Amino acid sequence: MARKLAFDRLLFGSVVLLVLTGLLMIYSASAMQIYLPTSGAPAGAYFFVIKQTVAVVAGGVLAFLAMSIDYRRLNDPRLVTVGLVLLTGSLVAVLLQAPVNGARRWLSLGVIKSVQPSEFAKIGLVIALAALLSRREGEITHPTRTLLPIVGLVGLLAGLVLFEPDFGTALTYFVIAAAMLYFAGLPLKYFLVSALLLVPTLSAYALSAQYRRDRLHAFLHPEADPLGKGFHAIQSLIAVGTGGVTGLGIGHGKQKLFFLPYPYTDFIYAIVGEELGLLGCAAVLALFGFLFARGVRAAANAPDSFGRLLGIGFSVMIVVQALVNISVVLALLPTKGIPLPFLSYGGSALFADLLAVGILLNLSQHAS
């Protein structure tokens, strides 16, 4: 019998610390960006941090609502169907937009100038997979009732995102689905077969475009073009290395002064390394690890399989994004457009991550 408990304050506290760190680092990393002629920002050092603070408040409201409404209401076939239709439609609509920096990832919704549907599709994917798998507990290996619908759903969403193109986010969908299937009890042999099919297919896709081949070459040999394709990786490593153990101090970093492009978004972890040093980087990494542990705990204590799968899906979603972003900053992976959850500037990703946290906090209020 499930009983209502207080929400997980430790999980909540770790997210608050990450969000506050993000606001601090966004201010530090973006204050000088107003002097760039292409920034589009009014003359004010607080422009980006004010926008992010507004996004934090709005995302906090979303998280509170998600925490307040029983998560089991999400396990409604009609709600799941409508949500998937809307998300799929928005991913199609994105492809009809004019490209920005060579990609079609954003929709303009009146007052809200840019929404990234692929971020919210992660939420929809986790909920849909949790709903389906919880209804197929005894038929996890059934080819038509379980596996085919899952492959179709993940393939559809990931395929649309690949057309944007956004290879990193599409891969995230596959990782989330794999984690949830494994937790649901799918035997390892199915993952091996899937890997034999997916690895060559995705590898061929990754090598099919010149810019992706250039990214891979820049990842392997950034020194070959230090002022061109290898510029991001080299400048990021310089920032992290310059910080040493304790960092240069908040506001004293140099790489954000027009050496590292967009230091307040995808490469904000490099600014953490430069200004807060190894200790700051380790603290941020530890917070994500702690968040993952508390999310898995909430999943393990959920009173039903739907809740357990939700908890695993959202915990993996947040931490995989964090690990990919940090790996890119440390030149352990090729450059991807995946933000660092709670720290990188940007509303859509923050809303999706805070919504996921709200559902995790909801789960933490229930125990079997």
**SS3 category, 113:** strand
Over the stretch 89-105, which tens digit does the pLDDT of each residue have?
A: 999 998 888 777 777 88
* Rounded percentage of the chain residues whose pLDDT exceeds 70: 94
Q: What is the pLDDT of residue 294?
A: 95
pLDDT greater than 90 at residue 290: yes
The region of weakest confidence among 111-120, 135-144, 335-344 is 111-120
What amino acid occupies position 156? L
State the pLDDT at residue 119. 93
Those residues with Cβ within 8 angstroms of residue 32's Cβ, 6 or more apart along the chain or in another chain? 45, 256, 257, 258
**Which tops the pLDDT comparison, 177 or 216?**
177
pLDDT of residue 310: 95
Q: Minimum mean pLDDT among 48-52, 107-111, 183-187, 258-262: which range? A: 107-111
Question: What pLDDT, on the 0 to 100 scale, is given for residue 156?
Answer: 95
Main-chain phi, psi angles of 25, to 5 degrees: -75, -30
Confidence class for position 133, pLDDT limits 50, 70, 90:
very high
What band does 212 get if pLDDT is binned at 50, 70 and 90?
confident
Tens-digit pLDDT profile for residues 2-18:
556 678 899 999 999 99
At 36 the pLDDT is 58
Structure-token pair, residue 123: 């939420």
pLDDT band for position 1 (50/70/90)?
very low
Structure confidence at residue 35 (pLDDT): 62
Three-state DSSP state, 112: strand
Average pLDDT taken over every residue of the chain: 88
Strand partners, 112: 109
Q: With pLDDT > 90 as the criterion, what percentage of the chain qualifies?
A: 56
Q: What is the pLDDT of residue 352?
A: 95
Name every residue whose Cβ is closer than 8 Å to that of residue 138 and which is 6 or more positions away in sequence: none
**18-74 residue pLDDT tens:** 999 999 999 998 877 666 555 454 556 788 889 999 999 999 999 999 999 999 999
**Max Cα-Cα span within the chain:** 62
Domain chopping of the chain, boundaries = 3-367
Beta bridge partners of 109: 112
Per DSSP, the three-state class of 206 is helix
Give me the pLDDT at residue 174, please. Answer: 93
C-alpha 65/C-alpha 170 separation (Å) is 28
For 316-327, what is the mean pLDDT?
95
What is the pTM (predicted TM-score) of this model?
0.91
| Strands 3-4 vs 366-367: parallel, antiparallel or unpaired | antiparallel
Confidence at 336, pLDDT banded by 50, 70, 90:
confident
Note the pLDDT of residue 59: 94
* Amino acid in the structure at residue 147: L
